[in-house]
Chains A and B, each alone.
Chain A
Amino acid sequence: MRRISLGSRLALLFAACTAAVSLGAGVLFTQASEQHFIELDEQLLDTRLTQLREQLTGLQTRQQVVDRLPELRSQFNLQTDVALRISSGTGQAWFESRQGLPDANQSAQLKTLQAGGVDYRGLSAPLIEHDPQSPQLTVLLDITHHQHFLQSMQRLIWLTVGLSALATALLGAWAVRRGLRPLRQIGAVAASVNARSLTTRLPVAQMPEELAQLAESMNAMLQRLDDAFQRLSAFSADIAHELRTPLSNLLTHTQVTLTRPRSLDEYREALHGNLEELQWMAQLVNDMLYLAKAEHGLLVPEQQVLDLASEVDALLEYYAPLAEDAGVTLLREGELVIEGDRQMLRRAFSNLLENALRFAGAGGVVKVGLQAGGQVTVANTGAAIEAAAAQRLFDRFYRGDSARAEGGAEHAGLGLAITRSIVLAHGGGIQVECEAGWTRFVIDFGKGPHSGPKDTSAGLTRNATP
């Protein structure tokens, strides 16, 4: 079930508030006017009673009342709203100025009474004070017109309540619509976001305070979407670009081979050529998938205690023949024990070592330094990396020397990107520095792992120092 809209809800609430307030005011007003009427009536009746007592002083028997009847009749015929009853001390009615008067208790208090559909207020008093045998005078006031007034008053109040509630609902709806315009703006922006317009942002500065936070969160979300999308686009573009060359080689080579009959050796040669391209492509796809996993935070390292000295020694032993052939000396200095994933770290270091071996050149030195603070440096002698190149060194498919782009590269320029992904997944940082004839890759495992959430995605933690 769809929930009632915010606008309708607020309008209804406004209307309810107005209705309650006006109803309260109406009730108070009604009570006040009723009280006012009572006071007026009491005053009037009191005055009349006093006059009558003076007028009828000395009256004691029924006969005396009968004697004065004409006088009383003519007096009360003129007054339509006031009536008089004279009764004996025992409550027997001697005179009633009109018919159908209510029976009144002998009371000195003002009473509201009813008889024959007419409302009266009555006030009684003995003619002679402090004499229980004295005849009683009761003055009655017809208050029908008061009641009419109060009834019409009540109708007016209900009308006011209804109309003001309606008016507030309508005005409230309009005000809410105006007030919630920034919300609709957010909605409109959200609706307009698609793959091509991820750069759209909400104007936070113009938002009311309550919505600014929402707008900011939404902008942050858009930013993340944009980043992820850019990465994804770049990723696909990179793959397509990198696969294009080997694919076109394969196509050309295969078609050329098939254009005319060839010797068995030529066919074998062609297949071998294809095999090399295919192996390169398989390697590329595997590396790209590895990076993709890393960028989506799926690279979760095991946490085992590793003696990096023995790990590095194993790697140096592995690369020893290659280094010897290249005339490069391999060295390891220091000790370090950290927690991490053995295979992943081996892979990370081996990429760095391969890179260092490649650029050290004959007679060069590759030195792995382990520092107790959690730093691992892989340094090689050789020409310094240009500042511009150092910035891009950890990018996918970046190759230090453009010559290597022409095939022969085992890792299609993904080695350092993979290394950085692994280091980031371990909560560390990597940077490259060049000084005094050394190129030094510095991995810092000490910083980061417990200092807040780590973004393992590429491009955010690059601190290459030229």
Chain B
Amino acid sequence: MKLLIVEDQVKTGQYLQQGLTEAGFACELSADGETGLHLALTGDHALLILDVMLPGRSGWEILQAVRQAGLATPVLFLTARDAVEDRVHGLELGADDYLVKPFAFSELLARVRSLLRRGAAGVQDTTLALADLRLDLIRRRAERAGQRVDLTAKEFALLELLLRRQGEVLPKSLIASQVWDMNFDSDTNVIEVAIRRLRLKIDDGHASKLIHTVRGMGYVLEERQD
């Protein structure tokens, strides 16, 4: 799974490369538009992360050239400008997502994973499971160690999200957006409370905890040996 980052800000590029590499992706980094375009057209990338303002060629021009070459590689734009026209322009040209600086790395990582998963949307699952936690999507039932757990609709949706993306750190903003459709930075205490309540129902009384807080980043559902 190889990603291409085209970003002229040296530090930003390096940090992104480091972060994504450590998250398990192979990353190529280019600091100018021309090289970036060349790499995008010749390399076999699973995802392009493009800055809009680039020397040589803008991110938009790269995207245009890539689409003209018949490549459907997903593209995530990074930009310091947040004008609605910019967003619309990018999406019209065929960008798949758009992140405005300053953004949290956890947010970027979550979006990258979403985009990579989108292409590989396989068979619709009917049950999701992790360790002894099971979620029956059709009957809307949750079980932990064979014991039925009563969840509210939103708690169910939250748990479904965590299970679908188990092992990934999900930032609070992403949870608010996916579960409650709150697409702005709202008071994230709400997510904390919601997670705490879900924990009470899922993890309380079980030796192995599944919901974990990653401080400063978000929450992750995974089985930990400790």
Interface residue ranges, A against B (CB under 8 Å): 272, 275-276, 279, 281-283, 285-287, 289, 293, 298, 300, 314, 317-319, 321-322, 325, 343, 346-347, 350, 354, 410-411
Contacts and interface: CB of A to CB of B under 8 A. Distances in A.
Interface string B184-226: 1111111001100100000000000000000110000000000
Contacts of A275: 216
Given A298-B83, A318-B190, 8 more contacts: A281-B102, A286-B185, A319-B190, A343-B184, A346-B182, A347-B184, A350-B182, A411-B187
Main secondary structure on chain B at its contact with chain A?
loop
Contacts of B184: 343, 346-347, 350
B84 A314 contact: no
19 contacts: A275-B216, A282-B102, A282-B103, A282-B104, A283-B185, A286-B185, A298-B84, A318-B176, A318-B180, A319-B190, A321-B190, A322-B187, A346-B182, A347-B184, A347-B186, A354-B187, A410-B187, A410-B188, A411-B187
A279 B104 contact: yes
Contact of A300 (B84, B176, B183): B84
A66 B189 CA distance: 145
A317 B180 CA distance: 9
Contacts of A354: 186-187
A282 B102 CA distance: 6
A318 B216 contact: no
B125 interface: no
Contacts, number: 56
B180 A314 contact: yes
Contact of A286 (B102, B182, B186): B102
A279 B103 CA distance: 9
A387 B93 CA distance: 52
Contacts of B215: 272
Given A279-B216, A325-B193, A289 B82 contact: yes
A346 B183 CA distance: 9
B22 interface: no
A325 B183 CA distance: 24
B172 to A, nearest CB: 10
A282 B82 CA distance: 14
B92 interface: no
Interface string B1-27: 000000000000000000000000000
A322 B193 contact: yes
Q: Which 5 interchain pairs have the tightest Cβ spacing?
A: A275-B216, A282-B102, A321-B193, A347-B184, A318-B180
B189 A410 contact: yes
Contacts of B189: 322, 410
A276 B193 contact: no
Nearest to B155: A321
B204 to A, nearest CB: 16
B164 interface: no
B184 to A, nearest CB: 5
Nearest to B100: A286
Contacts of A314: 180-181
B140 interface: no
Contact of A322 (B103, B182, B190): B190
A276 B187 contact: no
A300 B85 CA distance: 11
With a 10 A CB-CB cut-off, give which of B82, B154, B176, B189 has the most chain A CB atoms. B189
A276 B216 CA distance: 7
A332 to B, nearest CB: 16
Contacts of A285: 102
Nearest to A325: B193
B194 A321 contact: yes
Interface in B98-142: 100, 102-104
Contacts of B84: 298, 300
A318 B182 contact: yes
A328 B67 CA distance: 53
Nearest to B183: A343
A287 B100 CA distance: 13
B206 to A, nearest CB: 21
Nearest to A354: B187
Nearest to A344: B184
B15 to A, nearest CB: 13
B171 to A, nearest CB: 10
Contacts of A286: 100, 102, 185
Interface string B145-185: 00000000010000000000000000000001000111111
Nearest to A300: B84
Contacts of B176: 318
A347 B187 CA distance: 11
Contacts of B197: 321
A329 to B, nearest CB: 16
A309 B184 CA distance: 20
Nearest to B186: A350
Nearest to B102: A282
B39 to A, nearest CB: 30
A321 B197 CA distance: 8
A354 B154 CA distance: 19
A325 B209 CA distance: 23
Contacts of A279: 104, 216
Contacts of A322: 187, 189-190, 193
Nearest to B184: A347
Contacts of A410: 187-189
Contacts of A325: 193
